[in-house]
Structure 1
Amino acid sequence: MKTSRSLLLALVLSGALTVTAACGDKKDNGGTAPAAGGSASAAASPQADARTELINAFNKLNTVTLAYTANTETGTVATTKLNGSSDPVKKAASGSMTISAQGTQITADLVVVGTDVYLKLSVPLPGIDPKKWLYIDGAKTSLSKLGLGSPDDPANVKGLADAIATVERDGPGGYKGTFDMTKRNLPEASTAMLQQMGDAAKSVPFEATVGADGYLTALTVKMPAAGQVPATTSTTTFSDFGKPVSISKPADADVQPAPAALLSQFA
């Protein structure tokens, strides 16, 4: 029971950190994204133009199906790996998460269709059939605490446009700058962490790559330490833009209601 509780807390912490770091994960649709760090263009555009280009790249992620991966390292305390796919138009997303913390590893599978959330954990829970999906009413919880963004904003980038404090080009397809995370609409737990960062939360470094088709293909964000939470680096990539995605709810026979103890972790 103690082990299960610590693992669940690790899941919640990891999800909160992933969202706070705003790690998006998407890549280019079939093409190879131009590498960041190449030679600077002969005539660099003003920062305002770079900002517009990056905002447009963020927004394009919410218009097509895609695949994503996200890796988050919280100092030496925990690592999180998330991969999956999304269909923003149908408000559907799925993902598989692996969390390593305190010498323990957890895997979790997630399916979100509208406000219906289905979760399958690798850890045993009292009274729970480990072979079945746990159903969570997404209208009564926070998807961010599950490590996923809203189905119509799988990359959690809608709030990032307003959070761009500085940005400049960094070679072909590359951008670098800072986010003012205090300008984002974040869950209560994440807001509390930002407060502990102080002024550092207003200048969080990021690097981004935009593919030839204008989609954001990679985003790395380096969050400063917050209280007892070490500095966190999150890298997300996006790919397979517009390719067919199949995301469906599990069969009723394979689903059971999530227990109250678990729901309280995501309230």
Structure 2
Amino acid sequence: MKSSRSVLLALVLSAALTVTAACDDKNDNGGDAAPAASGSSSAAASAAPKADARKDLTDAFAKLAGGTVAYSATTESGAGTGTKLTGASDPAKQANSGSMTITAQGQQITAEVIIVGADLYLKLGLPLPGVNPKKWMYIDGSKTSLSKLGFNPDDPTNTKGFTDAIVTVEQTGAGAYKGTIDTTKRNLPASGAALIQQMGDAAKSVPFEATVGAEGYVTSLTVRAPAAGQLPATTATTTFSDFGKPVSISKPAAADVQPAPAALLAQFA
């Protein structure tokens, strides 16, 4: 059995990698999303519900994909377990960053993540032997199995193909939608697929809520996943903003980087 610290470390890495880098996807039509127009992104998309809710929501997800964006994400799993993350993404440069607070097993720690291409840099507010807490730990993503911790480099926030999994959807108000998705239809990393299998039939009718702003972008997405195996039911909410605005994400200076220790790399084996 893994030690408490090992379990917590795995949770930190999984959470950080899964939700870091909002929307690194490309538009399904092959183009990048257009820069945002001026105005409030949280404003209502229309004054009244539209006739084709599925098409409207699909268009909003497609517009979200590909452009720079800031995001805030939370997950709540009960029993005092959850994550809070804020960050930004620049898909054109394959650059993503995020700062996270993780609460689990009665402990609260912080994590910072920078991903540029296949290079991953990580800081943990958790003591590790031989690690300078002021420096970034480097992990070569091209030589590790990041997907085992729930990270899909092509879809870091698991939004790609979301609309393909929609079973039911209705517009409940101006820019507001709710419905269900069949998570078995989603192309997720191996770890996510295993959890979906443990959900049983409930995985085919997972409720979600989404909002679309006046500019046509998805501004929030909430998914309420049922319990799976030893994991309790989880509510995951992500909000998106600053569409098309400049994002500055770069690799840390060489002097501020150290190799990741073997104990950390073992989490990716």
2:40 matches 1:31: yes
8 Å CA contact 2:181, 2:206 repeated in 1:
yes
User: Structure 1 length as normaliser, TM-score?
Assistant: 0.85
Aligned residue number for residue 126 of structure 2: 123
Q: 3-state SS of the aligned residue for 2:173? A: coil
Paired residues, number: 256
Cα shift at 1:70: 0.3
How far apart are residue 94 of structure 1 and its match? 0.3
Query: Could you tell me how far apart the structure 1 residues matched to 2:199 and 2:256 are?
Result: 43
CA deviation after TM superposition for structure 1 residue 34, in Å: 3.8
Q: What is aligned with 1:236? A: 238
Partner of 1:197: 199
TM-score of the two chains, using structure 2 as the length reference: 0.85
Q: Deviations over 1:173-226 (max 9, x none)?
A: 011111111111112222111111101001100000011111000001000001
Contact 2:17/2:156 (<8 A) preserved: no
Higher relative contact order (CA 8 A, sep 6+): 1
Backbone CA RMSD of aligned residues: 2.9
Structure 2 letter corresponding to 1:209: T
Name the residue aligned to 1:76.
79
Q: Say if 1:28 and 1:216, in contact at 8 Å, map to a contact too.
A: no
Shift of 1:264: 2.0
Change (3 A) 1:15 1:254: closer
- Kindly report which structure 2 residues correspond to 1:99-114, keeping only aligned pairs within 5 A, or say none: 99-114=102-117
Q: Give 1:58's aligned residue.
A: 61
Q: In the alignment, which residue of structure 1 is the partner of 2:9?
A: 8
Give unmatched runs, 5+ long, in structure 2: 24-35
* Inter-partner Cα distance in structure 2 for 1:59 and 1:226: 29
Contact 1:32–1:211, Cα closer than 8 Å, also in 2: yes
Q: Tell me, in whole angstroms, the C-alpha distance in 2 between the residues paired with 1:51 and 1:229.
A: 31
Deviates more, 1:257-266 or 1:112-121: 257-266
- Secondary structure in 2 aligned to 1:167? strand
After superposing the two structures, state which structure 1 stretch, 187-196 or 105-114, moved more.
Answer: 187-196
Moved over 6 A (4+): 145-148
Q: Distance in 2 between matches of 1:217 and 1:253?
A: 38
> What letter matches 1:266 in structure 2?
F
**Residues 2 and 225 of structure 1: is their aligned pair in 2 closer, same or farther, counting only changes over 3 Å?**
closer
Any unmatched runs of 5+ in structure 1? none
Matches of 2:205 and 2:198, distance apart in 1? 14
Measured in 1, the distance between the counterparts of 2:198 and 2:152 equals 23
Q: What's the % identity of the aligned pairs? A: 63
Q: C-alpha distance in 2, partners of 1:237/1:107?
A: 20
Q: 1:227 to 1:139 in 2, by over 3 A?
A: same
The one-letter amino acid of 2:173's match is G
